[in-house]
């Protein structure tokens, strides 16, 4: 969809500014782990990713998931060795079994809420690789599968520990198939935000949480007890997820007045995503109940709308969500008012 080689479509969970901070403020081991992760990500974008010689079978039956979990055995090869496939019992490897469970929870969310049959809506097999690299501090979608590192164990736990991280990476595949949003500047930040939006809804759906019961955190449980922080991002209050001597302070803005102009991280895709993230939080909490019943369908309608351009900015997407809220719930509806007010409250629309 994006017109780029699949290998260059690495959409990683960990913001590079966090890894760069660790590389300069961590202890000797943490510095090396962060540098190795940054180097692995940079090299991955420059080389052709390994692919299964024969891709595993997709699911032929709507509503039935097809999962395949591999281990890279701490190497940087993909997909690695197959450990568990659909219907097989627990493997005893916690990362393998978490990836299997959370990919299943994500599939169930998309199917039960939106009747979407996997990433491509055609039953695409869900491939996950765990134990990628040596103390690799990241997770990513590469255009064909999801990949998860074990973390360094001092700052970051294994990346399969958080359901919303797994769902975030799978959703990058949905975004790629539906909109092909360019991974740079506002369209890239929107790409990251949409992955967070659906990632957090998957978590809320799995744990049956209302908007008031949910924590609205992305990467909750990913940080170890040594870190002064709750998660990597807060959708409710961007900029408050962590404040730590090694990681630094969460730099996400929650309003366009604080939009960060930067050349790093593809124009700040992991930083400025806080603005549309908060807009979704505001819309969902105003509507109450379960996020996937009102605000969620509006955001999905906008994502799959043929009018959403690959280089869409925040304002373009905001107007689409208002239009889709009107189409779904009616002009002057509570949903339309909530969505309109949310984008105004974060400064995207007047």
Whether 1 is covered by a domain: the verdict is no
Q: Which H helix or E strand runs over 82?
A: strand 81-85
The pLDDT value given to residue 4: 33
Q: 155, 178, 201 — which closes off a domain?
A: 178
The pLDDT value given to residue 82: 98
Q: How does DSSP assign 237-287, residue by residue?
A: STT-SBEETTTEE----SSGGG----SSHHHHTTTTTHHHHHHHHHHHHHH
pLDDT score of 1 more than 50: no
pLDDT score of 50 more than 50: no
223/314 same-domain check: yes
In the sheet that 11-12 helps form, which strands lie side by side, from edge to edge?
11-12, 139-141, 146-148, 126-130, 67-71, 81-85
pLDDT digits (tens, 9 = 90+) for 246-255: 999 999 999 9
CATH of the domain at 77: 3.10.170.10
The pLDDT value given to residue 43: 83
267 vs 4, higher pLDDT:
267
pLDDT score of 38 more than 60: yes
151/237 same-domain check: no
Whether 350 is covered by a domain: the verdict is no
Instruction: Using alpha carbons, list the distances in angstroms from residue 180 to 43, 241, 310, 346.
Output: 22, 29, 6, 25
Q: Which of 29-43, 51-65, 110-124 has the lowest mean pLDDT?
A: 51-65
Cα gap 202→5, rounded to integer Å = 29
Q: Could you tell me which residues are beta bridge partners of residue 11?
A: 141
The pLDDT value given to residue 246: 98
**Active centre residues (catalytic):** 169, 270
The pLDDT value given to residue 6: 33
Residue span of the structural domain in which 330 resides:
185-345
The number of distinct structural domains making up the chain is 2
CATH of the domain at 286: 1.10.390.10
- How many beta carbons lie within 10 A of that of residue 288, not counting itself? 15
Token duo for residue 267: 């124009």
157/12 same-domain check: yes
132/193 same-domain check: no
* Coil, strand or helix at 195: helix
Cα gap 28→116, rounded to integer Å = 46
Q: 157, 178, 199 — which closes off a domain?
A: 178
The pLDDT value given to residue 9: 62
pLDDT digits (tens, 9 = 90+) for 205-252: 999 999 999 999 999 999 999 999 999 999 999 999 999 999 999 999
The pLDDT value given to residue 233: 98
pLDDT score of 51 more than 60: no
Q: What share of the chain is helix, strand, coil (3-state, %, to 5)?
A: 45, 10, 45
29/75 same-domain check: yes
Q: How many residues does the chain have?
A: 350
Q: Could you tell me which residues are beta bridge partners of residue 148?
A: 139
Phi, psi of 75 (to 5 degrees): -100, 175
pLDDT score of 57 more than 80: yes
Whether 88 is covered by a domain: the verdict is yes
pLDDT score of 3 more than 70: no
> pLDDT-derived band of residue 46, with 50, 70 and 90 as boundaries?
low
Q: Name 18's Cβ contacts closer than 8 Å, sequence gap at least 6.
A: 232, 247, 248
pLDDT digits (tens, 9 = 90+) for 260-273: 999 999 999 999 99
Mean of the per-residue pLDDT values for the chain? 94
Instruction: Using alpha carbons, list the distances in angstroms from residue 19 to 32, 52, 217, 252, 299.
Output: 10, 30, 19, 15, 30
The model's pTM: 0.95
Cα gap 53→32, rounded to integer Å = 33
Token duo for residue 339: 């969505």
Residue with tokens 């996997």: 118
pLDDT digits (tens, 9 = 90+) for 138-172: 999 999 999 999 999 999 999 999 999 999 999 99
139: left (phi over 0), alpha (psi -120 to 50) or beta: beta
What would the mean pLDDT of 311-340 be, rounded to a whole number? 98
């Amino acid at each position: 969809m994006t017109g780029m080689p699949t290998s260059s479509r690495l959409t990683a969970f960990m913001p590079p500014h966090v890894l760069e901070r660790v590389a300069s403020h961590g202890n000797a081991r943490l510095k090396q782990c962060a540098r190795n992760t940054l180097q692995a990500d940079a090299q991955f974008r420059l080389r052709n990713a390994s692919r299964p010689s024969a891709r595993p079978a997709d699911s032929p039956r709507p509503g039935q998931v097809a999962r395949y979990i591999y281990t890279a055995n701490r190497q940087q090869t993909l997909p690695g060795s197959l450990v568990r496939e659909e219907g097989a019992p627990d493997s005893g490897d916690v990362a393998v079994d978490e990836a299997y469970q959370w990919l299943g929870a994500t599939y169930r969310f998309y199917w039960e809420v939106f009747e979407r049959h996997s990433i491509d809506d055609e039953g695409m097999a869900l491939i996950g690789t765990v134990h990628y690299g040596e103390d690799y501090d990241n997770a990513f979608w590469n255009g064909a599968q999801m990949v998860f590192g074990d973390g360094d164990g001092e700052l970051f736990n294994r990346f399969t520990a958080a359901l919303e991280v797994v769902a975030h990476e799978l959703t990058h595949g949905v975004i790629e198939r539906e909109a092909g949003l360019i991974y740079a500047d506002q369209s890239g930040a929107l790409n990251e935000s949409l992955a967070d939006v659906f990632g957090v809804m998957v978590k809320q759906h799995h744990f049956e949480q209302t908007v008031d019961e949910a924590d609205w955190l992305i990467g909750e449980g990913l940080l170890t007890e040594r870190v002064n922080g709750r998660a990597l991002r807060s959708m409710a209050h961007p900029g408050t997820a962590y404040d730590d001597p090694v990681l630094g302070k969460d730099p996400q803005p929650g309003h366009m007045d604080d939009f960060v102009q930067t050349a790093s991280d593809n124009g700040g895709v992991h930083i400025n995503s806080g603005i549309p993230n908060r807009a979704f939080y505001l819309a969902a909490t105003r509507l109450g109940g379960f996020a996937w019943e009102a605000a969620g369908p509006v955001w999905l309608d906008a994502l799959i709308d043929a009018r959403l351009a690959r280089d869409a900015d925040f304002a373009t997407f905001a107007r689409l969500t208002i239009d889709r809220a009107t189409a779904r719930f009616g002009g002057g509806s509570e949903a339309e008012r909530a969505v309109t007010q949310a984008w105004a409250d974060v400064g995207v629309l007047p």
